[in-house]
Amino acid sequence: MNVAQLSITAIRDGLISKQFSATELAHDTLRFAEAENPKTNALLTLTTDRALAAAQKVDEALARGEDPGPLAGVPVAIKDVIVTKGIRTTCGSKLLEHYIPPYDATAVIRIEQAGGVIVGKANCDEFAMGSSNENSAYGPVRNPVDLERVPGGSSGGSAASVAQGTSVVALGSDTGGSVRQPASFCGIVGVTPTYGRVSRYGLVAYASSLDHIAPFARNVKDAATILQVMAGRDTADSTSAPAPVPDYAAALDGNVKGMRIGLPVEYFNGLSAETGDPLHAAVDTLRKLGCEVVEISLKHTEYAIPAYYIIATAEASSNLARYDGVRYTTRSAESGTLSDMYRNTRGEGFGAECKRRIMLGTYVLSAGYYDAYYIKAQRVRALITRDFTEAFQQVDAIVAPVSPFPAFKLGEKLSDPLAMYLSDIYTITGSLAGIPCMSVPCGATSAGLPVGMQILTKHFDETGMFRLAHAYEQAGS
């Protein structure tokens, strides 16, 4: 069977009609991954034993005539910043080369309870810091669409795995666009739910007020299915929301007639033709579906990048203090004194991007700068959030680009960190506001590189976001 083409629905149908067993599907996927993964370096670890054990459980449930769960037999890849009990979790860092977590993330537990089969751990930028997946200590990931190009980051391995077919759905993490941007680069669906919609328990912290566990899929329905499984209150994460989780699948009815769509002028002014043309064509499709399209303004957009890179790095400098050579990291050989141990373990262990963000974060939090930078950025964050709140009084959803450009060549932007940061402009605003946002494929550039359309809705309105994305997907671009 061609594992690279399967959807969750097709797998379910295949299992129930006994065309294949979950164990056969797991074997086929793992064989396919062994053969194909070296081309992209998307997966760092194949979790063969765990996959086969989970598949066997599904087959046993089916044999007993039980419902094997909404993700029955579905091969899932997990970004290596999400902990898996007994399975090495590196965070793309040399520091955690040998780290074997003693527990599972809540999202991982829920996926397996729903019948999901975890087949591998996905490569990523070190501690989820990066926009190209070139910051991994285990080598860059290559985009399956064009192996000379990056898959985006920081969840580049998860995106590449789903696009390549070594998994059907995958978990990434999104702090400032780390799921939406790679989804757009690889031509798949990436969903960042409302902040707090999915438990972060077991997600290695980068910037706690912005971090999300967020899924990738090859179609909107699959994305809705895996989010459904993960969403909902978890007592292990006090920031997880108690709000009830609606039935997302019920929203996929194609009915978007009369839906009001806002196009933020700040996002479309100056957009290049290669990204803009497919997006404008997509907006035309939405109009044909009966949506009412209006221009809106999100006037603080230009301040999002500086606000984000203060807040995120400040939180990161604090969160990354724990990698000190004592509890779970490797330890420097130059550890004569306690202070040398800390300094050298971290100096040798962190890559350039992590060091840059730790330094920036430490600087903006340091005495005399805290109010000028950190508090100022938090005030600007409030203004950016207010822009969205006001916009959603006029419109049901916002449609925007995901990235200013499509997948770029490996090494092309590595030497200019600021330019790399600036490329996050369209995804960072939604992250700061904590609203649901997703990237859905909307065609390609003239060179054939995938382009994504971003859909943003108000807090906890994943339903509206999925409805619009699904209707667009079904209409075709």
Partner 1 sequence: MKLTEQQVTYVAGLANLSLTKDEVSRMAHDLDEILTHIDKLNELDTTGVEPMAQVLFDAEETASMRADIEHQPLGTDVALANAPMKGSGHFKVPKVIER
List the interface residues with partner 1, window 174-233 (CB under 8 A): 194-196, 209
In the shown chain, the binding pattern of residues 440 to 469 toward partner 1, with x for contact by CB under 8 A and - for none, equals -------------------xx---------
> Contacts with partner 1 in 116-155 (CB under 8 A)?
none
The catalytic position among 93, 131, 132, 154 is: 154
Site size toward partner 1, by CB under 8 A: 75
The catalytic position among 21, 57, 79, 184 is: 79
79 is known as an active-site residue: yes
> Contacts with partner 1 in 27-86 (CB under 8 A)?
none
Q: Rounded to an integer, what distance in angstroms lies between the CA atom of residue 81 and that of residue 124?
A: 8
CA angle 179, 181, 187 (to 5 degrees): 95
Residue with tokens 């031509």: 187
CA distances from 268 to 192, 295, 301, 354, 428 (A): 21, 10, 12, 32, 16
Is the separation of the CB atoms in 214 and 171 below 8 Å? yes
In the shown chain, the binding pattern of residues 239 to 268 toward partner 1, with x for contact by CB under 8 A and - for none, equals x-xxx-------------------------
Q: Single out the segment in contact with partner 1 by CB under 8 A; choices: 11-19, 244-252, 281-289, 416-424.
A: 416-424
DSSP assignment of 147-169 equals TTB---SSSHHHHHHHHHTS-SE
Cross-strand partners of 438: 191, 455
Q: Rounded to an integer, what distance in angstroms lies between the CA atom of residue 35 and that of residue 2?
A: 14
The residue from 31, 326, 390, 448 that contacts partner 1 (CB under 8 A) is 326
The residue from 383, 414, 444, 475 that contacts partner 1 (CB under 8 A) is 383
Q: Single out the segment in contact with partner 1 by CB under 8 A; choices: 30-38, 109-117, 146-154, 332-340.
A: 332-340
Rule CB under 8 A: say whether 379 interacts with partner 1.
Answer: yes
Rule CB under 8 A: say whether 302 interacts with partner 1.
Answer: yes
Q: Rounded to an integer, what distance in angstroms lies between the CA atom of residue 98 and that of residue 146?
A: 32
Rule CB under 8 A: say whether 403 interacts with partner 1.
Answer: no
CA distances from 234 to 115, 196, 240, 378 (A): 19, 10, 6, 27
Q: Which is nearer to partner 1, 378 or 477 (CB)?
A: 378
Question: Cβ 116 to partner 1, closest distance in Å?
Answer: 25
Is the separation of the CB atoms in 8 and 225 below 8 Å? yes
Q: Which is nearer to partner 1, 364 or 449 (CB)?
A: 364
Rule CB under 8 A: say whether 333 interacts with partner 1.
Answer: no
Cross-strand partners of 122: 43, 79
Rule CB under 8 A: say whether 20 interacts with partner 1.
Answer: no
Question: Cβ 416 to partner 1, closest distance in Å?
Answer: 9
| Nearest residue to 399 (alpha-carbon basis) of 455, 361, 465, 440 | 455
178 is known as an active-site residue: yes
Q: Rounded to an integer, what distance in angstroms lies between the CA atom of residue 393 and that of residue 237?
A: 31
288 is known as an active-site residue: no
Active site residues: 79, 154, 178
